[in-house]
């Protein structure tokens, strides 16, 4: 039987969580409602008014503003970077975790140290590189800086790979497995949770990337969702109803991905926690 | 299992089965190839058919639609030139333009506003319009815009749009409720001393939740349901015009020079309207929300809204009350308005100078420029193309003459110079504090001018 003090303490905890949930979720709800509100109603009534009547005009307005293309560009960019980052990060992390070569550890820590460098520091040299090679405002400019692995991914994978029992790898080697065989048959199956987690982090990071696409592209051809959303605001009008429709559309794929793959994130946390 | 051992075990039959890891790697490569093909297809813009392609960059989607129609007609007359319109959002327009011009990737023609063109002109990034199109061409264009884009005796852009002057939108229903006639509105005068009629009228138009007008016993400034006016930290719509109407200056050449007695009077008056008289929304609502006052007006909660033609379409489309436009209040030295314009500048690094010259000539011609006025969203800067704009609004029953009549008198120059953007970023936070009433006007102007000039010189 639960004691009264424990009941009170549980109630307090749940109350705190409820308040936190409300603070977190209300902005999303407000954004969703605003996306169904006409511009006229939004400008002439309280921003908290319910849409009356609800309208899809903001969503059709997105189509007119070329938002569909921005979605396709962003999805394609994210897919390419995801594939590239996973492939190259896995290869690099395995090398740092399991291969022996001179300067391995020093090289690893130098690479990880680049995590401390703010992205804004590398924007200018990267831009100049793209401009000099004629890649400015192209799809390659969006993906090349990010598709060859990331220090964060390599660090995370390297630590995870080191927890895989060496006996498994030695057994595979005895069977005649090459390095690629070991990675494909032993390491990757054992690393599913962390790979899914990294994949989700990469997808979210690249989907929400704003500064680099803003700098390296111009116009509507290679605009991504973040830049397209910001571009909905004109010089003299915030166009908030359109912006809310855009953010609603932009967030749906991320929510779907998280719901579909969330359990893998939990299991990766559990596994690393037990270790 | 390797292909070799499998073949060996197969006896007479040799079956080469690829390793799983090979298949895995090949699958990844195939997925990557498919994604690359998709990217190439997405990037396919269609060939130019051997024509010269000229790109034009601007920030307004509605005007871009008008330009596309204009350039269709242009291409019929110039079948060897194709013009492509590139719309870049205003928020990032000047940041990305700067990087693109520096990186050699800017469009052949791009829009510039007065506040941002000087740096490009000084660094030789723009075409000299007089040399490109001929010295007499400017006579066909709005004089104020030509002046704005003339620097060191050279015109650096083809005027495209003018904002005309600033006027006052009024809610006729609220004026009727307060017993205020149009004649009274037209005689409005602001003054730091005697002769002021604006404050009293605004007090009658400002009402709290219990219906008490401002300045009457029982008026609660914490519960205002109707504002009289939109005094605020608004450069173009409000304080530049007040500075001009007080006989002051905002800039002296490229230097910020708003720390002067007349400008102090103007700012003191505006801050007083907000924080002492409570006839305008608090600066906490308006400092960082440029739409706030307009939306208060549209929702029928503000009687007078001083602004430019850039809000005309929104008000005409969304106002649910009777409204009109009147001249802005006169100040100690009369009615003085700012006027702003936009020009199309030629990129001096363009690979197609002859085609760009043709396009610029078209954009500066009545045939090319009139498309921008037919939908009423913008005032063409080519004088012969302006009737389209007036016709549109006349057909809708809106008298837009106050925006233009105010320019018959003196103007205050629109701000600019190569350091304007940096200077603006430096003085805006200080002005925010001033309008909030947290800092005295005299201190604020002195500090802001010093900070702005220091930032502009960097």
- Which pLDDT belongs to residue A268? 60
| Helix H or strand E encompassing B262 | helix B261-275
Residue A63 inside a domain? The answer is no
CB B101 within 8 A of CB B125: yes
On the question of pLDDT at B48 being above 90, the answer is no
Q: Of the candidates A43, A79, A236, which has its C-beta nearest B35's C-beta? A: A79
Name B372's Cβ contacts closer than 8 Å, sequence gap at least 6.
B63, B66, B67, B70, B160, B161, B378, B380, B385
Question: Alpha helices of B372-440 — where are they, by DSSP H?
Answer: 387-395, 401-405, 420-436
pLDDT at B99: 86
Quote the pLDDT of residue B306: 98
What confidence score (pLDDT) does residue B5 get? 43
Cα distances (angstroms) measured from residue A130 to each of A138, B8, B107, B110, B377? 9, 52, 17, 22, 38
Identify the pLDDT of residue B264: 97
Q: Is residue A56 part of a domain?
A: no
User: Which chain B residues contact residue A76 at CB under 8 A?
Assistant: 35, 38-39, 42
Q: If you measure CA to CA, which chain B residue comes closest to A178?
A: B21
B7 pLDDT band, cuts 50/70/90, is: very low
Q: Cα(B363)–Cα(A35) distance, rounded to whole angstroms?
A: 37
Give residue B6's pLDDT.
Answer: 43
| B70 close to B373: Cβ distance less than 8 angstroms | no
Amino acid B121: pLDDT: 95
Least Cα distance to A225 among A75, A120, A124 occurs for: A75
Label the pairing between strands B52-58 and B109-113: parallel
DSSP class of residue A65 equals T
Query: Considering only CB atoms, which chain A residues are within 8 Å of B20?
Result: 181, 184-185
Measured between beta carbons, the chain B residues lying within 8 angstroms of A128 are 103
Question: How many contacts, defined by CB atoms under 8 Å, are there between A and B?
Answer: 115
pLDDT digits (tens, 9 = 90+) for A170-189: 898 898 888 888 998 899 99
Query: Which residues make beta-bridge pairs with B170?
Result: B304, B324
**A2 lies in some domain:** no
Burial class of residue A46, CB neighbours in 10 A (0-12, 13-18, 19+): exposed
Among positive and negative, which fits the CA dihedral B276, B282, B283, B286? negative
Chain A residues 184-223 with CB within 8 Å of chain B: 184-185, 214-215, 218-222
Chain A interface includes B38 (CB < 8 A):
yes
Mean pLDDT for chain A? Answer: 89
Whole-Å CA distances, B425 to B266, B406, B455: 21, 29, 8
> Residue A250: which of A78, A52, A10, A48 has the closest Cα?
A78
Q: DSSP class of residue B456? A: H
Which pLDDT belongs to residue B265?
97
Residue A22 CB coordination number (10 Å): 10
Q: Mind giving me the DSSP string for B56-97? A: EEES-HHHHHHHHHHHHHHHHH-TTEEEEEEE--HHHHHHHH
| Residue A60 included in any domain | no
Beta bridge partners of B256: B251
Q: Residue B243 above 50 pLDDT? A: yes
Euclidean distance between CA atoms B236 and B413, whole angstroms = 11
The H or E element that residue B167 is part of is: strand B167-171
Which of chain B's residues have a Cβ under 8 Å away from the Cβ of A230?
89, 91-92
HSE, side-chain direction, 13 A CA sphere, residue A153:
28
How many C-beta neighbours within 10 Å does residue B374 have? 15
CA neighbor of A38 nearest in space, from A22, A17, A59: A59
H/E segment holding residue A118: none
Which segment of A62-76, A191-205, B2-16, B168-182 scores lowest on mean pLDDT?
Answer: B2-16
A148 assigned to some structural domain: yes
Q: Looking at the complex, does the CB of residue A234 fall below 8 Å from at least one CB of chain B? A: yes
Beta carbons of B245 and B333 less than 8 angstroms apart = yes
In this structure, are residues B127 and B346 in contact, taking their beta carbons and an 8 Å threshold? yes
Chain A stretch 95-134, residues whose beta carbon is closer than 8 A to a beta carbon of chain B:
127-128, 131
Give the pLDDT band of residue B15 (cuts 50, 70, 90). Answer: low
Please give the model's pTM, rounded to 2 decimal places. 0.81
Number of domains comprising chain A: 1
Q: Which helix (H) or strand (E) holds B342?
A: strand B341-346
Pairing status of strand B154-155 against strand B150-151 = antiparallel
What is the average pLDDT across B308-335?
94
Chain A contact present for B27, CB below 8 A: no
Q: Do B28 and A87 touch (CB under 8 A)?
A: yes
Residue B441: closest CA among B202, B254, B192: B192
Q: Name the strand (E) or helix (H) holding B327.
A: strand B323-327
Report CA-CA distances (Å) from A271 to A192, A264, B434.
11, 10, 57
Nearest CA distance, A235 vs chain B (angstrom):
6
Tell me, what's the pLDDT at A132? 87
**Longest CA pairwise span in chain A (Å):** 75
pLDDT score at B50 = 82
Which range is least confidently modeled, A69-78, B93-102, B245-254, B301-310? B93-102
Mean pLDDT confidence for B299-323 = 94
Q: How far apart are alpha carbons A185 and B24 in whole angstroms? A: 10
- Quick check: is A64 in a domain? no
Q: In a mutagenesis test of the B interface, which of A37, A40, A44 is the best target, namely the one with the most B β-carbons within 10 Å? A: A44
In this structure, of A194-203, B28-37, B53-62, B400-409, the range with the lowest mean pLDDT score is: B28-37
Q: Mutual orientation of helices A104-113 and A151-161 as an angle, nearest 10°?
A: 140
Tell me the percentage of chain B whose pLDDT exceeds 70.
96
Query: Alpha helix (H) ranges present in A162-239?
Result: 166-174, 179-182, 188-190, 192-207, 211-216, 225-230
B447 vs B426: CA distance, rounded Å: 10
Given CB atoms, is B298 within the 8 Å cutoff of chain A? yes
The pLDDT of residue B2 is 44
Cis before residue A250, ω within 30 degrees of 0? no
| Residues of chain B numbered 60-79 and touching chain A (CB < 8 Å) | 60-61
Q: Residue with structure tokens 């549109």?
A: B392
Q: What three-state secondary structure class fits B241?
A: helix
Predicted confidence at residue B400, as pLDDT, reads 94
Torsion, Cα of A130, A133, A136, A138 (10° steps): -110
Residues B102 and B104: their CA atoms lie apart, in Å, by 6
B89 falls in which pLDDT band (50, 70, 90)? Answer: confident
Count other C-beta atoms under 10 Å from residue A266's C-beta: 11
pLDDT single digits (tens) B109-126: 999 998 899 999 999 999
- Higher-confidence position of B26 and B325: B325
Q: Which of A136, A137, A233 sits opposite B91 (nearest CB)?
A: A233
Interface residue B152 vs chain A (CB under 8 A): no
For residues B318-326, give the mean pLDDT. 95
User: Given the structure tokens 């409204």, which residue do they identify?
Assistant: B323
Strand order in the sheet with B109-113: B81-87, B52-58, B109-113, B341-346, B158-162, B379-380
A230, B88: Cβ pair inside 8 Å? no
Residues of A in contact with B285 (CB under 8 A): none
Nearest chain A alpha carbon to B24: A184
CATH number of the CATH domain containing A202: 1.10.3720.10
Type and span of the H or E element at A96: helix A67-98
A126 belongs to a structural domain = yes
Can you give the pLDDT at residue B9?
A: 46
Using the 8-state DSSP alphabet, how is residue B189 labeled?
Answer: B
Taking residues B140-157, report their average pLDDT: 94
| ipTM given for this complex | 0.72
pLDDT tens digit at each of 275 positions of chain A? 568 889 999 999 999 999 999 999 999 999 999 999 998 899 888 888 899 899 999 999 898 888 999 999 999 999 999 999 999 999 999 999 999 999 999 999 998 998 888 888 999 899 989 988 989 889 999 999 999 988 999 999 999 999 999 898 889 889 888 888 899 889 999 998 899 989 999 999 999 999 999 999 988 889 999 999 988 887 777 889 999 999 999 999 888 888 887 776 666 655 554 43
* A244 domain-assigned: no
Of the candidates A53, A30, A51, which has an alpha carbon nearest to the alpha carbon of residue A248?
Answer: A30
Give the pLDDT of residue B351. Answer: 93
Range B220-249 average pLDDT: 96
Looking at every residue in chain B, the average pLDDT score rounds to 92
- Give the range of the structural domain holding residue A219, as residue numbers without chain letter: 81-239+261-272
B361-378 mean pLDDT: 93
Of B32, B87, B92, the CB nearest to A83: B32
């Amino acid at each position: 039987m639960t004691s009264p003090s424990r009941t009170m303490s549980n109630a307090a905890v749940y109350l705190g969580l409820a308040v936190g949930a409300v603070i977190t979720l209300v902005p999303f709800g407000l954004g969703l409602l605003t996306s169904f509100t006409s511009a006229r109603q939004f400008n002439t009534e309280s921003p908290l008014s319910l849409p009356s009547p609800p309208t899809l005009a903001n969503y059709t307005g997105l189509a007119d503003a070329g938002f569909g293309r921005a979605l396709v560009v962003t999805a394609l960019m994210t897919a390419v970077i995801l594939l590239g980052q996973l492939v190259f990060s896995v290869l690099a992390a395995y090398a740092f975790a399991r291969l022996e070569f001179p300067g391995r550890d020093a090289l690893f820590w130098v690479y990880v140290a680049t995590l401390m460098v703010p992205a804004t520091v590398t924007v200018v040299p990267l831009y100049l590189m793209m401009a000099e090679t004629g890649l400015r405002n192209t799809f390659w400019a969006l993906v090349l800086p990010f598709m060859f692995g990331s220090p964060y991914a390599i660090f995370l994978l390297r630590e995870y790979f080191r927890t895989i029992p060496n006996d498994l790898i030695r057994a595979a080697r005895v069977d005649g497995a090459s390095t690629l065989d070991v990675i494909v048959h032993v390491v990757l199956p054992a690393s599913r949770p962390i790979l899914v987690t990294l994949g989700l982090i990469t997808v979210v990071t690249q989907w929400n990337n704003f500064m680099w696409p803003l700098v390296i592209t111009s116009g509507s051809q290679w605009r991504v969702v973040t830049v397209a959303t910001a571009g909905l605001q004109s010089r003299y009008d915030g166009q908030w109803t359109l912006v809310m429709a855009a953010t609603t559309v932009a967030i749906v794929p991320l929510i779907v991905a998280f719901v579909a793959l969330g359990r893998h994130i939990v299991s990766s946390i559990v596994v690393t926690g037990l270790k | 299992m390797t292909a070799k051992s499998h073949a060996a075990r197969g006896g007479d039959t040799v079956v080469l089965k690829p390793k799983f890891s090979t298949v895995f790697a090949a699958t990844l490569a195939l997925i990557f190839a498919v994604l690359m093909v998709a990217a190439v297809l997405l990037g396919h813009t269609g060939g130019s058919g051997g024509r010269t392609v000229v790109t034009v960059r601007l920030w307004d989607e509605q005007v871009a639609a008008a330009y596309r129609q204009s350039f269709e007609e242009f291409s019929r007359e110039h079948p060897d030139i194709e013009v492509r319109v590139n719309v870049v959002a205003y928020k990032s327009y000047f940041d990305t333009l700067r990087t693109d011009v520096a990186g050699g990737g800017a469009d052949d023609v791009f829009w510039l506003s007065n506040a941002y063109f000087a740096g490009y002109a000084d660094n030789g990034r723009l075409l000299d319009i007089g040399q490109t199109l001929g010295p007499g061409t400017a006579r066909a264009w709005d004089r104020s815009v030509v002046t704005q884009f003339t620097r060191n005796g050279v015109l650096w852009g083809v005027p495209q749009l003018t904002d005309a002057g600033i006027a006052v939108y009024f809610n006729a229903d609220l004026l009727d409720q307060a017993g205020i006639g149009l004649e009274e509105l037209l005689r409005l005068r602001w003054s730091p001393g005697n002769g002021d009629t604006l404050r009293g009228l605004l007090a009658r138009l400002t009402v709290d939740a219990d219906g008490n007008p401002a300045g009457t016993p029982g008026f609660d400034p914490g519960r205002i349901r109707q504002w009289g006016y939109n005094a605020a930290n608004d450069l173009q719509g409000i304080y530049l015009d007040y500075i001009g109407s007080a006989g002051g200056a905002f800039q002296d050449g490229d230097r910020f020079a708003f720390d002067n007695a007349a400008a102090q009077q103007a700012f003191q008056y505006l801050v007083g309207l907000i924080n002492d008289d409570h006839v305008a929304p608090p600066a906490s609502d308006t400092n960082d929300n440029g739409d706030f006052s307009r939306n208060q007006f549209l929702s029928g909660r503000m009687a007078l809204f001083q602004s430019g033609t850039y809000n005309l379409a929104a008000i005409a489309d969304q106002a649910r009350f009777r409204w009109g436009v009147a001249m802005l209040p006169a100040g100690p030295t009369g009615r003085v308005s700012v006027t702003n314009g936009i020009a199309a500048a030629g990129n001096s690094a363009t690979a197609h100078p002859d085609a760009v010259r043709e396009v610029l000539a078209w954009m500066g011609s009545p045939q090319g420029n009139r498309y921008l006025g037919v939908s009423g969203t913008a005032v063409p800067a080519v004088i012969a193309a302006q009737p389209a704009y007036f016709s549109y609004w006349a057909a809708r029953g809106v008298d837009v003459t106050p925006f233009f009549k105010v320019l018959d008198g003196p103007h205050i120059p629109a701000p600019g110079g190569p350091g304007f953007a940096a200077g603006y970023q430096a003085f805006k936070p200080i002005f925010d504090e001033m309008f909030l009433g947290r800092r005295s006007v005299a201190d604020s102007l002195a500090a802001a001018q010093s900070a702005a000039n220091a930032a502009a010189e960097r």
